[in-house]
Amino acid sequence: MTGIRGDGSRGARLPLVLATLTLLATTTVLAGCATATSGPLGAAPTESPTPTPTAACPQVEGVELPPECAPYDPDNAMAQNERYRDRVDLADESREAAEKPAQSVRAGLERLRTSGGLSVAAVEEVFADAGLTDIQTIGDERAVAFGVAAPEGGCIFGEVSADVFTVEIGGVIMDGGCLPAEGH
């Protein structure tokens, strides 16, 4: 096969193609650098650009942050991240309605704890005996965390193990439900 010159060289066009691609790429990059505030050719800019924060910087007492930083409070951010576990307020009527089944659950779980017969299935049975269904549990034969909807709203929740025993009444957690999701 012969090239344009008819001498059989095929590589003569390669430098021209590479130069064209390089020019095209450079023009594209430079066009992206144009500012949004410049007007038509020869016109003065309409207003000066405003710096936009480009990095989040923790606020430190007594230290002034550079203008390119967006300040944030890391302790507050962490506290807000844990809000899913907070419980909403519970009306007194709902709390009172939950007290009777909670007493039954306390008695049943205390018997389990002292007898050594602790298991997830045994804890669920205590709640069923108290007339409560759809219990959420996390644990095994060593410790069981639990949460269940109370009869008139709110939750009965807590934990039972050989060393720990709590049964509380409160509102649902901000994340929904009576027991925080595992691995949340």
Give the rounded percent of residues in the chain with a pLDDT score beyond 70. 65
Q: Is the pLDDT of residue 15 over 60?
A: no
pTM given for the model: 0.57
Query: What confidence score (pLDDT) does residue 22 get?
Result: 55
Pairs from 51-57 (Cβ < 8 Å, separation ≥ 24): none
Q: Work out the pLDDT band at 35, boundaries 50, 70, 90.
A: very low
Q: Is the pLDDT of residue 5 over 70?
A: no
Check: CB of residue 118 under 8 Å from CB of residue 162.
Answer: yes
Buried b (16+ CB within 10 A) or exposed e, 38-63: eeeeeeeeeeeeeeeeeeeeeeeeee
Check: CB of residue 129 under 8 Å from CB of residue 108.
Answer: yes
The domain spans of the chain are 51-81, 87-170
Structure tokens at 30: 């430079």
CB neighbours of residue 7 within 10 Å: 8
Q: Whole-number mean pLDDT of the chain?
A: 77
* 40-80: pLDDT as tens digits: 555 565 666 565 556 777 777 788 878 888 877 777 777 66
Q: Which helix (H) or strand (E) holds 29?
A: helix 14-32
